[in-house]
Amino acid sequence: MPTPIEVALLALPESTASTLYGLYDILASVRRDWSILHGEQMQDSPFRPLIVSPDGRPVETVNGVVVTPHCGFKECQSPAIAIVADLVVAPDGAADGFDESIAWLLRCHEAGATLASACSGAVLLARTGLLDGLEATSHWAFCDALQRLHPTTRWYADRGLVSTGPGKRILMAGSGVAWHMLALALVARHAGPEDAMRVARINLMDLQVSSPLAYASLTHGARAADPVIERAQQWVAQHYAEADAPVADMARITGLAERTFKRRFAAATGMTPMEYIHHVRLEEAKHLLETGDTAIEAIAVDVGYSDNSFFTKLFKRKVGMTPAKYRQRFGKLAREIAASAAT
List the domain boundaries for the chain: 5-204, 227-335
Altogether, the residues listed in the chain come to a count of: 343
Is it true that 5-204 and 227-335 share their CATH fold? no
Rounded Cα distance, 149 and 126, in Å:
9
Strand 170-173 relative to strand 161-164, pairing: antiparallel
Rounded Cα distance, 90 and 100, in Å:
19
SS3 content of the chain, % helix, strand, coil (to 5): 50, 10, 35
What is the number of other CB atoms lying within 10 angstroms of the CB of residue 153? 20
Contact yes or no for 112/12 (Cβ under 8 A): no
The string of pLDDT tens digits covering residues 157-174 is 888 889 999 989 999 998
The pLDDT score that the predictor gives to residue 243 is 67
Q: Considering the entire predicted model, what is its pTM?
A: 0.73
The pLDDT score that the predictor gives to residue 68 is 96
Is domain 5-204 annotated with CATH 3.40.50.880? yes
The pLDDT score that the predictor gives to residue 209 is 44
Output b/e per residue, 263-286; b: 16+ Cβ within 10 A. Answer: ebbeebbeeebeebbbbbbbbbbb
Rounded Cα distance, 217 and 165, in Å:
36
Strand 47-53 relative to strand 71-72, pairing: parallel
- The list of the chain residues with pLDDT below 70 reads 1, 93-95, 206-224, 243, 342-343
CATH of domain 227-335: 1.10.10.60
Contact yes or no for 183/19 (Cβ under 8 A): no
The string of pLDDT tens digits covering residues 238-284 is 888 876 788 999 999 999 999 999 999 988 887 899 999 998 999 89
The pLDDT score that the predictor gives to residue 207 is 45
The pLDDT score that the predictor gives to residue 339 is 75
Rounded Cα distance, 329 and 321, in Å:
10
The pLDDT score that the predictor gives to residue 220 is 47
Contact yes or no for 164/170 (Cβ under 8 A): yes
3-state secondary structure of 139: coil
